[in-house]
Amino acid sequence: MSAFSGSLGPKKKSELQEIAVALEIPDSGTRDELANRIKHHLAKHESSLSEDARFGGLYGRSRKRSVQPTMMNTIKEDAASVVSIEDTSTEERIRAAPRRGGRHAAQREREHEHEQEQEQEEDSAAAAYSTPPHNDSIVKVIQDLEPANIPLPVTPIPSAVRSAASAIGRDATVLIQRVKEQERSLTLEGRRMVQKTQAFLSDASNIYTMTLLFEMTIMLWAVVPTTSITFGGKPAVPPPPPGATPAAPPSPGLTLHYPSPHFFLTSTLWVLLGKWLVPTCVIPMFFGALISFNNLASIPSVSAASSPDTYRPSPARDLDPVTIGIMRVAFTAASNWGVADDVLPWHWRLISASVSAAFAFAEAIGERKRAALVLGKEKDA
């Protein structure tokens, strides 16, 4: 490895980059930036680099003399007089030299002055990176800004905080009450709907009507033809002749199917409805009006159980649901009465009639128990 020496001022950028690489510092930037970076590194690590044979030549004469061992002080003191005499004689010889040697003397003087200027520049650079002097005013300001001395922010008025908290609490209380009221109202509405549905489905007459609608829907679905209408889309076109450009394929649209209105004007539908209505509805209702097993005229109403003083007899029904259910099951099981199975399957008709009759029996049993309970309370009273 080669040693570096001389001042940094006259060196080229490539030489400065070699020195930076050897010092293991960044070698990027301009020539002035490199020179300043190297000077700062040399001043910071002067104690170690000045003794290094590779980088010792980069320091000035005065710095080399300053880092010499103390044991050489005695030798320097003994040779001080000799050096002064030699310097004086050297200057006299330079002045007394012939003119042909004056050119070399002037060059040596310029080199000596250049070295002194470099030493001054290095001293100023080292002073720039040295520790600044101690300043008591700065220390005092820093001490005044310690966390213990920093003033706290202004706090809001406690009364304003309490009033805001109370207002928020009132609003929250009102909101909670509204939510509870809405929840209570929704619960009541749900219970009312359940009670209404229960009351509707607990009536044998309503169940009988629902079974009739079920059978009629199945029959009409199988008999009545439907007509369709398409909204949007492209209709299908016949295929083009050979060699012609094929047309665009049809795009599907929204197709709506509805019963054909012309079929309701034909006699086929009404004859079929007559064959179904006679054994399913007309004959059972006729027997239901003649035969009745619930004399409700002598049985008090449900309200009489809770208030005997306000006794009111329940009106008798014109049609007995139990009789209607029995006759409907009997006529359905006897024959299909001209209604084909592909229109209305016979087993569906029998299931519908049996369900209606079973619920009619359940209703009659419940009313008998309720009437017996009311009569027993009246006898005890």
For the cut 90, the answer to whether the pLDDT of residue 352 exceeds it is yes
Residue 165 lies in a domain: no
Q: How far apart are CA 28 and CA 257, in angstroms?
A: 84
Q: Is residue 244 part of a domain?
A: no
Residue 127's SS3 state is helix
Query: Comparing C-alpha atoms, which of 164, 134, 108, 126 is closest to residue 43?
Result: 126
Q: Which of 111, 129, 147 is the last residue of a domain?
A: 129
Structural domain contains residue 288: yes
User: Among 129, 144, 159, which residue terminates a domain?
Assistant: 129
226 forms beta bridges with 259
Q: What is the pLDDT of residue 120?
A: 66
Residue 206 and residue 345 in one domain: yes
Residues 49, 153: Cα–Cα separation, whole Å: 54
**What is the domain range of residue 226?**
201-234+251-380
Note the pLDDT tens digit of each residue in 9-36: 777 888 888 888 888 888 888 888 888 8
Using pLDDT thresholds of 50, 70 and 90, give the confidence band for residue 374: confident
Based on the domain organization, do 113 and 206 belong to the same domain? no
Residues 334, 228, single domain; the answer is: yes
The total number of structural domains in the chain stands at: 2
Whether residue 94 sits in one domain with residue 224: no
Percent of all residues in the chain with a pLDDT value above 90, rounded to a whole number:
19
- Is residue 245 very low, low, confident or very high in pLDDT (cuts 50, 70, 90)? low
Helix (H, G, I), strand (E, B) or coil at 125: helix
Q: So what's the pLDDT on residue 250? A: 59
pLDDT over 90 at 186, yes or no: yes
Assign 3-class secondary structure to 267-328.
HHHHHHHHHHHHHHHHHHHHHHHHCCCCCHHHCECCHHHHCHHHCCECCCCCCCHHHHHHHH
Q: What is the mean pLDDT of the chain?
A: 73
Pick 352 or 368 by higher pLDDT: 352
Q: CA-to-CA distance for 285 and 291, rounded, in angstroms?
A: 10
Q: Does residue 299 lie in a domain region?
A: yes
Residue 266 lies in a domain: yes
